[in-house]
Amino acid sequence: MITSKIIANGILRALFFLALAALFLYFIYLTQSVLIYLVSALILTLIGNPIVDFLKKRFKFKHTFATVTTLSLFILCIAGLILMFVPLIASQGQNLSLLKTVEIEKDIAELKDQAFLFLESHNIDTSELIKEAKLGSKINLNFIPDFLNTVLGTISSFGIGLGSVLFITFFFLKDRVLFVTSAKKLIPDTHEEQILNSIHKINHLLSRYFIGLLLQLSIVFVLYVIVLLIFGIPNLFIIAFLCAVLNIVPYIGPLIASVLAAILTMLSHLGSDFQTVLLPTTVYVLIGFWIVQLIDNNVSQPLIFSKSVSSHPLEIFLVILIAGFLSGILGMVIAVPIYTILKVIGKEFLPDNKLIQLFTKNI
C-alpha cells in the first residue's frame, strides 16, 4: 500500500536528482571554457594518434619522442597559419583604413553610386527611395575601434587557450595507455569487453574522420587558391584559407564562403571601374567558387567522409540534414562524429538488432 511517507520520499528523491542535475549543468556552464579546451585537445589527439603510431613503427621513435615530434608538427602548422595572417592584417588595415571610419563610409558610398550607374546604363530604374535613403551616409562605423580592441582581447585569450590545449594534448598523446588502464578499473566487469571495443573503434573511426576532414579542407583550399590566382586577387592564400575553414559547416559554410569571397574581391578592386573590372571579376570569382563547391560536395566530401567513417554518402548527407534541422549549424558540425559514436555503441551493445546490423555492416 502506497502511503504518504512513500510519496513524500519519492518527491524528495526526485527533487534531489533535479537539484543535482541543475548543479551539474551550472557547473558545465561555469567550466565551459575548460570543456572546450578538453574537446579541442581530444580532436588534436585523435589526429595525432596515427602520426605517433607512424613515427614509432616507421622510424622506431620512442613513445615520448614521437609524442613531442607530433606536438611540434602541430605547433609549426599553427605558427605558420598565424604568420600567414600577419600580412593580411597589415595590408587590409592599410587598404581598408580600419581606423578611419569616414573613409570607409566614403568607399561604401562610392561603391553604391557605381552600382546605381551600372544599373541605369542598362535601363534598370533604381528606386528613388533607395537613392534618397543615403544608406552609405547612415552607416555608423565608429564601432570599429572598439571592435578591434575586442579582437585584440580575443587574440590574447586565444593564446592562453592554445597553450592550454597543446599542454593537455601532450599528455593525452603521451599517457593514452595509462588512461585506458585507469578506465578499466572503473568499467563494470560485465561490460568491460564491449566498452573497450567501443572505445577502440570510436578512436579509430574518429581519427580517420578528422584526418579526412583535414584532407578535404586542404583540397578545397588548393582549389580556392587556384581560382583566386587566376583572377589576380590580393591576399589569395588568406582568403582561400578563411573560405576553406568555413567548409567545416556543411552546405551553409560554402555559401558564407562565397559571400565572403565576393566582398573581399570587391574591396580589393575598390576604385576600379565597376562595369568593366569590379563586377566581372567578382562574378568570375563566384563562378569559380561554385565550381569548387560543386566538386567538393559531389566528389571529395562524400568519398572522404564515407570512407573515413564507413558510411554511405547518402547516409552522411541525411544525418547532416537532420542534425541541421534539429540543432542548427552546431548540429551540422558535430553530426558525423556523434552519429559514428552511436553506430559503434549500437553495434557493440545491440549486435542482434536488424536495424543496427543494416547501418553498421561496414564497421
pLDDT of residue 119: 67
Asked if 313 and 306 touch (Cβ cutoff 8 Å), the reply is yes
Q: Mean pLDDT for the chain?
A: 80
Amino acid at 352: D
Neighbours of 249 (CB within 10 A): 19
Residue, of 199 and 41, whose pLDDT is higher: 41
Amino acid at 16: F
Confidence of residue 138 (pLDDT cuts 50, 70, 90): very low
pLDDT of residue 226: 95
> Can you give the residue ranges of every domain in the chain?
1-30, 35-186, 188-363
**pLDDT tens, residue by residue, 316-341:** 888 888 988 888 887 888 888 999 98
pLDDT of residue 49: 92
The interaxial angle of helices 32-58 and 144-174, nearest 10 deg, is 50
**CA 81/CA 153 separation, integer angstroms:** 19
Asked if 169 and 41 touch (Cβ cutoff 8 Å), the reply is yes
**Range with the lowest mean pLDDT among 17-26, 57-66, 116-125, 328-337?**
116-125
Q: Is the pLDDT of residue 135 over 90?
A: no
**CA 153/CA 227 separation, integer angstroms:** 34
pLDDT of residue 144: 47
Confidence of residue 89 (pLDDT cuts 50, 70, 90): low
Amino acid at 240: A
pLDDT of residue 98: 40
Residue, of 184 and 284, whose pLDDT is higher: 284
Asked if 250 and 320 touch (Cβ cutoff 8 Å), the reply is yes
pLDDT of residue 105: 60
Q: Which of 83-87, 91-95, 300-304 has the highest mean pLDDT?
A: 300-304
Phi, psi of 153 (to 5 degrees): -65, -40
Residue, of 142 and 64, whose pLDDT is higher: 64
The grid cell for 35 is 570543456
Phi, psi of 17 (to 5 degrees): -70, -35
Confidence of residue 134 (pLDDT cuts 50, 70, 90): low
pTM: 0.73
**CB environment 258-284: b (16+ within 10 A), e (fewer):** beebbebbbbbbeeeebeeebbebbee
**CA 304/CA 306 separation, integer angstroms:** 6
Show the CA angle centred on residue 361, arms to residues 357 and 363, nearest 5°.
120
